[in-house]
Amino acid sequence: MNILIDLLPAKVRIDGVEYEINSDFRTSILFEIMMQDRDLDDKSKIVQALDLYYSKIPCNVEKAIDEILWFYKCGKEEDSLKAKGNLKAVNIYSYDYDAEYIYSAFLDQYGVDLQDIEFLHWWKFKAMFKSLKEDNEIVKIMGYRAIDISKIKDKAQREHYKKLKEMYKIPSVLTKDEKEKLDAIREALSNSKNVDNVL
């Protein structure tokens, strides 16, 4: 698929039957956030993904999931970082954590209000996101997160970027059980109780 010459897909073909696929950018953002949710098991993720993308769920669920992944990756076989041999890709953005920065960048650069726009194809959204200019705050932040500080020779510069990397670090996503355990530890500590019972 070539975004310059091909019409962007709104349907997928499964076992010779065409199915409409929800191609709005919000659907694929929700999909990505859902896939990162550590509280959901794989079966729940599959069920929710099918519900997100299809109004009529195909009988061939395996092929339906393959088509979701193809669509989500904008018709590309490999993501660009993996294609370059970097199999351990660094997560440099979060649609959840960075929502305000992304919203502001689209409004500033393209005049697109992601709240007001009724529909924006996922592939268009991704092309626009990839092409955000360096002066947008989200692009600067992604740069801080992506930088390999071990390759910076100057000690002062390395410390500077280490601080920025830490400042803009995406918080780790905790499971519901982990959150409850942390809350119990905080509660015990704030009441000067022994945390051994919580651990």
Q: DSSP states of 165-185 as a string?
A: HHHTPPPPPPPHHHHHHHHHH
Q: What is the band of 199 on the pLDDT scale with cuts at 50, 70, 90?
A: low
Please report, as a single letter, which amino acid is at residue 105.
A
pLDDT tier at 144, thresholds 50, 70, 90: very high
Kindly list the distances between the CA atom of residue 172 and the CA atoms of 34, 91, 106, 191, in Å, as whole numbers in the listed order: 15, 11, 26, 26
Contact 143, 135 (CB under 8 A): no
**Least-confidence region, from 67-71, 170-174, 176-180:** 176-180
pLDDT given at position 38? 87
- 68 CB-contact burial (10 Å; exposed 0-12 / middle 13-18 / buried 19+): buried
17-20 vs 11-14, strand pairing mode: antiparallel
pLDDT (tens digit, 9 = 90+) per residue, 1-46? Answer: 899 999 999 999 999 999 999 999 999 999 999 999 988 999 999 9
Q: Does position 115 have pLDDT exceeding 70, yes or no?
A: yes
Nearest CA among 57, 55, 71 for reference residue 12 = 71
Helix (H, G, I), strand (E, B) or coil at 49: helix
Mean pLDDT of 112-123: 98
Q: What is the pLDDT of residues 56-104, one digit of tens each?
A: 999 999 999 999 999 999 999 765 444 444 434 568 999 999 999 999 9
Instruction: Say what the pTM is.
Output: 0.82
**CA 18/CA 123 separation, integer angstroms:** 19
Rounded to the nearest integer, the mean pLDDT of the chain is: 89
Q: What are phi and psi of 163, to 5 degrees?
A: -65, -45
CA dihedral 128, 22, 26, 168 (to 10 degrees): -70
What DSSP character marks residue 172?
P
- Residue 198 pLDDT exceeds 80: no
